[in-house]
Amino acid sequence: MSEVTKSTFVLAVEDLETSRAYYIDKLGFQEELRVHGWSFLRLGECRLRIGDCPGIVPMRQAIDHSWIGYLHVVSAREIYQRFVEQGVEIWHPIADTPWGMREFGIVTPDGHRWVFGEVL
């Protein structure tokens, strides 16, 4: 049976340079490849491709549908603290959930929302 072996998120961003710097400087992604209009990024096993789309409607204007992904991590508290120190916008403070996860959410300058969670 075929199975998923990795995932890559593809996001449209209004300003590629600003978003690229945010993902690298604030969230700790590394750039693997850069081609005209695109930046291919990596954080652990998470892959991200951000594409330059000037003039798009920002995700901040689509609050109900701006969730982009849930990233499973080893230490949510450690990452949360690092993000707070980096000035990352937190939209969901760290908390233990009834479904057995310790999680928190961030929002990027483009309005994409990510949740980071650790199994308790």
pTM (predicted TM-score): 0.87
SS3 55: coil
pLDDT of residue 59: 80
Largest separation between any pair of C-alpha atoms in the chain: 45
SS3 65: helix
Q: Per-residue pLDDT tens, the chain, 120 aa: give them.
A: 767 677 899 999 999 999 999 999 999 999 999 999 999 999 999 999 999 999 888 787 776 777 889 999 999 999 999 999 999 999 999 999 999 999 999 999 888 999 999 999
Contacts for 49 with CB less than 8 Å, ≥ 6 apart: 8, 9, 10, 11, 38, 39, 40, 41
What CATH number was assigned to the domain covering residues 7-119?
Answer: 3.10.180.10
pLDDT of residue 19: 95
